[in-house]
Every structure is written in structure tokens, then in C-alpha cells.
A and B are shown apart, each in its own frame.
Chain A
């Protein structure tokens, strides 16, 4: 084979080198520039925080009771109670019933369709039309009232209507506290102007 290498075999020799290089280059682009593929991105997964504020935390038949230093007992119970989504310290309750019993037995029963209980500030607010029934035969209604959880301190927001032994009463405000004399019994204070109408029973 003395003949000088012809141009054909030169080309073939170069091709034997260039073609595999080209192949390698093509293969590498396949992996290097491929799109970022993350199969887990669009799986329907909800994280734990999303579940927190669902009403999955509703408590049914919740009950709260506290006694004050002077021995008065406050019991609050609700059909349902759940934490307020915006403010974790507030408990929103539905169909709330309460009883405030003094040591000497005088007591006031409260009932309201809704309530907010903030144990941190030791207060509960009953709203949506509150009815109060006292042991001395008074029945009182008001729109909303707030009460302390650890003391005898009930205060109506606005006007109150009451019927009882004294007749029918409307007043600008109702405050229920412990009477100052040591009997420690409940004292109903009708304030901001009181109007009372009493119809004497006809001569029997």
C-alpha cells in the first residue's frame, strides 16, 4: 500500500473522530438543558396549618365554671364552642347558658344565643339578646352584656327590660354586683334612668 494516503481516506479518518464527538455533544444537550421537571409540585397536598382554622376544632357541650374569692360560683355552658380563627385567645360559643350563684343562695340564670369568652382578660360577652332570671322572681332582657369570669360583675351594654315583683321596669343599664353588706347576696342595679309601672292587684 505505498500509495500516499488519498484524500478519501483522510476524510474518513477525520470523520471517524468528528462523528462520535458530535454524537456525545448531542446526547449531553439532552440532559443539560432539559426543563426542570419536579413531579411532586402539583400533587393535591394540604399542609397542617390549613387544617388548623377549619371548624374541625369545634367543641360541643363546652362548659366553664369559676368561683370568686367571695365564694360566688359562675357556670357557663354552651352547645358549641370553637376558637376564633383571627384571635386564638377568643372562644366563640353558641347557645350559651350561665348561672351566677352566691353563697347565700341568691342566683341569676343567663341565656344567650351567642357569646365570646376571653379567659385571658377574664371576661365573657353574651350577645344576640340575653335573658336573665333571678331567684327573687325578676326576668330581665337586654341585647348584650359582659360579665367577669372570676367575680360577680355583670354589666349590660344598653337598656334593659325587667318584670318582677316590683312591676315592669325599663332602665338605661343593668349592673349586677355583690351587695356591700356582708350578706354577699346579689344586687341588681338598674341605672341611667329607671321607669317602673306597677299595677296594684285588684281588690280580691
Chain B
């Protein structure tokens, strides 16, 4: 099911900022693991998680993916999405969230197994037991 996500389109070439309590970098294979309330930011998009692993591209001087695990929250503009895990592919500019995804848009909420958010086009593709939860009545 196609939904729009994120009022502004995040520019996938904008600099990516990551803040965390700690970062450990292993020198032999070069993997880097951020831990302790990690927040990844790019443009309007904020992705927060307890742990984020940096996966490098083969050329080693570019980051291919950021794997956030341990309960992830993705916020873009007014919308928020939660899931167990999220893979943020910087080159492609997509965030793939998996593990009981919950997307809240204003009053209504959608849940599904997986959701792929395309930051450039601002659309999200949800699949796997998508269910919509409509809040009856306006907010008092």
C-alpha cells in the first residue's frame, strides 16, 4: 500500500549527522557501531535507535548503509514511524523498516510487517499484513 510520508522531501545528498553516546570502531575490519541513544539526522528526517551499525561500501571511503536495531523511531516532519529495525541506505535514499512497523499520520495509524520509505519522493511502501487503525471521532 502506498502512502505519502514526510511533508518535505529529504535531500539524499544532504550531509548525514549522527550523534550518540559512544562509537566503537574496529580497526581490522573497520566496522563502526554507534551505541547509546543514537540519532541519525538528514535534512528533516530523524532516525533514533539504541544501536546503529555502519556498513561501508566496498571502496571503504563511503558509507553504504546504516543498520539501526533495538527499537527504531523514524520522524520526518509531522509523521512518525516505529519498528524493531531500520536499514537506511544512504546512496539510494531509502529507509527500510521491518518488525511490526507502526506508522502514525495525524489521527490514523497504520501497522504492517515492513515499510520502505523513499526519502527523495517522500512516499512509503508498506507491505505484510497492513492494517489501518482509524481513531473514531475527532480529537476532543
Partners in one complex: yes
Q: Interface residues, chain A, CB within 8 Å of chain B?
A: 102, 104-108, 134-138, 164-167, 169, 171, 179, 183, 185-203
**Chain B positions within 8 Å of A199 at CB level:** 15-16
Per the bound structure, the CA–CA distance linking A72 and B58 in Å amounts to: 28
Which 5 pairs across A and B sit closest by C-beta, in order of nearness?
A185-B28, A106-B27, A186-B27, A190-B23, A196-B18
Is the beta-carbon distance between B54 and A166 smaller than 8 angstroms?
Answer: yes
Sample of 12 A–B contacts (CB below 8 Å): A106-B28, A108-B27, A136-B27, A137-B30, A165-B30, A165-B60, A179-B28, A189-B22, A190-B25, A192-B21, A193-B20, A198-B63
Q: How far is the CB of B43 from the nearest CB of chain A, in Å? A: 12
**Chain B positions within 8 Å of A167 at CB level:** 16, 63
Is the beta-carbon distance between B19 and A195 smaller than 8 angstroms?
Answer: yes
Is the beta-carbon distance between A189 and B23 smaller than 8 angstroms?
Answer: yes
**Chain B positions within 8 Å of A102 at CB level:** 27-28
Per the bound structure, the CA–CA distance linking A191 and B19 in Å amounts to: 11
Identify which of residues 46-68 in chain B touch chain A, using a CB-to-CB cut-off of 8 Å: 54, 56, 60-63
Is the beta-carbon distance between B22 and A191 smaller than 8 angstroms?
Answer: yes
Is the beta-carbon distance between A200 and B21 smaller than 8 angstroms?
Answer: no
A198 and B13 in contact (CB under 8 A), knowing A137-B60, A186-B28? no
A187 and B27 in contact (CB under 8 A), knowing A166-B32, A196-B19? yes
Question: Does B116 reach chain A (CB closer than 8 Å)?
Answer: no
Is the beta-carbon distance between A194 and B22 smaller than 8 angstroms?
Answer: yes
Per the bound structure, the CA–CA distance linking A195 and B41 in Å amounts to: 11
Is the beta-carbon distance between A201 and B62 smaller than 8 angstroms?
Answer: yes
**Chain A positions within 8 Å of B5 at CB level:** none
